[in-house]
Structure 1
Amino acid sequence: WLLTAIATVPNLFVGSLQYDPRIYSCTFAQTVSSYYTISVVVIHFLIPLLVVSYCYMRIWVLVIQVKHRVKPDHRTRLRPSDLRNFITMFVVFVLFAICWAPLNLIGLAVAIDPTRVGPRIPEWLFVVSYFMAYFNSCLNAIIYGLLNRNFRNEYKRIVTSVWVTRLFVTETSRAATDGRSMRSKQSPPPPLNNNESVRDRANKE
């Protein structure tokens, strides 16, 4: 949180936060300062992407070496839970790179040559790239849930309980409706009034 707060301070002096009618929100304007936009993309996206990619590459090399080691070494044993956690974090990182790359690359291209590149970028492409970056925040919870066995079991339990409850309520309501219809069919006819009884007696005579 501290680094995030520090990273937003330069926006107050550059004036890069502006309302964009294409996305109906106040966001970072990529055309205010080319140098500032390039700095933001390099420091906030490209450098972290390269550093994290290098770290994951080293981890993958270690995982492959441990799994294919001829003589097992008990000091560097790879547990299945560690491998699942690593795969989960790696998928989260890949999706982060995919979702944020279009917006940052568009901003970098516009900042390098705003007069030529800016008019050539269609409006829909910017809007899609912007909402792809927003959608990444939703994906994290989904990925953590799909790749976590405890979450999957609890999710199945909740869905099953909701489905069983709805089925029970539906069957109870249907049984109550059928019971009311059966009672209405079996109920005796209403008693005849005096006029109807006199008319029936005259017809019999």
Structure 2
Amino acid sequence: MGEVITVSITPSHDSVFPLLPSFTGNVFVVSLAFADLVVAFYPYPLVLYAIFHDGWSLGDTQCKVSGFLMGFSVIGSIFNITGIAINRYCYICHSFSYDKLYSYRNTLLLVALIWLLTVIAILPNFFVGSLQYDPRIYSCTFAQTVSTSYTITVVVIHFFVPISVVTFCYLRIWIMVIQVRRKVKSEVRPRIKPSDLRNFITMFVVFVLFAICWAPLNFIGLAVAINPEAVAPHIPECLFVVSYFMAYFNSCLNAIVYGLLNQNFRREYKRIVMSVWKPHLFFQETSRGGTEGMKSKPSPGLNNNEQVKGETL
């Protein structure tokens, strides 16, 4: 008979992908989804209206509101993507202090801070008069040639700084994963939960798609801001239009990425679609899920060691 060895896995660097707490992790994803939905409910329908009428006929106020909400959605999306990356980085690379940093209260405050910074980043548009109708794209949006300094500030704050922060976070996570795998190569290998790995990959793909979709428009904006008179007239209209719609198409891609890469999202999509045809089944499943969740909820008296304990060789 072989000796039975019990291995206690604590939430440290050796447990590479511990289960992400449902609230603190998902609240940022919900906030990102809200940012993506903002453009779908107001600016996009007005863009379609302008296309069908070959011009803007809804007045200056509607134009300003549409442009504001467009920017609110875009900047809110990248700030939320940055918040998600920081959340993943803290959970995996600084797991001992994670619970303190991302308590229920702190998480809500961080989400509120994200949206406060989003509003602060958008408000200067009203002072510099940069929310204007652009007939090339049938949209009321940020005009890159109105203020050189503000355009450079927007590109840096909205694109380069978040991209740098998110890149750092995900690189550190990948480095941590590689280091831990090598460290425990001859020891007990920690289990990497498939759901945790899928969640991480999903958000990483969201970030990569954002960078790809927004890079052309931001580089054009930066070039125009540096030398408006020399650069702006020489940018092909088709290049600007393609880069613009590439950027705003990114808001539609996130939901597709969630559905393709995450089984839980696919299941929920299917459940929501089915609820349209059979609402009573939706409420039955919701009620049953809540009851089962209460039954399976671990005792608050258990610590992390007791919850994750138990590998036998």
Fold similarity call, TM over 0.5 = yes
8 Å Cα contact 1:66/1:77 also seen in 2 = no
2:192 corresponds in structure 1 to 78
- From the two aligned structures, give the one with the greater helix fraction: 1
Matches within 5 A, 1:10-25: 10-25=124-139
Q: Deviations over 1:6-57 (max 9, x none)?
A: 1111111111111101111110000001111001101111011011101110
Change (3 A) 1:118 1:80: same
Q: Deviations over 1:84-116 (max 9, x none)?
A: 111111000000000111111100001111122
1:97 equivalent in alignment to 2:217:
no
Residue 167 of structure 2: which of 53, 56, 60 is its match? Answer: 53
1:66 corresponds in structure 2 to 180
8 Å Cα contact 1:66/1:78 also seen in 2 = no
8 Å Cα contact 1:19/1:25 also seen in 2 = yes
Once the two structures are TM-superposed, the CA of residue 71 in structure 1 deviates from its matched residue by 3.7
- Partners of 1:158 and 1:42 lie apart in 2 by 39
Residue 153 of structure 2: which of 21, 35, 39 is its match? Answer: 39
Higher relative contact order (CA 8 A, sep 6+): 2
8 Å Cα contact 1:103/1:126 also seen in 2 = yes
Q: Secondary structure at the match of 1:78?
A: coil
- Partners of 1:72 and 1:14 lie apart in 2 by 61
Matches within 5 A, 1:51-200: 51-68=165-182, 69-72=184-187, 77-152=191-266
Q: Secondary structure at the match of 1:143?
A: helix
TM-score by length of 1: 0.71
TM-score by length of 2: 0.47
1:8 equivalent in alignment to 2:122:
yes
Query: Which 4+ stretches in 1 moved above 4 angstroms?
Result: 153-159
Gapped regions of structure 1 (runs ≥ 5): 160-205
Q: Deviations over 1:149-197 (max 9, x none)?
A: 23445667999xxxxxxxxxxxxxxxxxxxxxxxxxxxxxxxxxxxxxx
Identical positions, percent: 77
Deviates more, 1:77-86 or 1:110-119: 77-86
Larger radius of gyration: 1
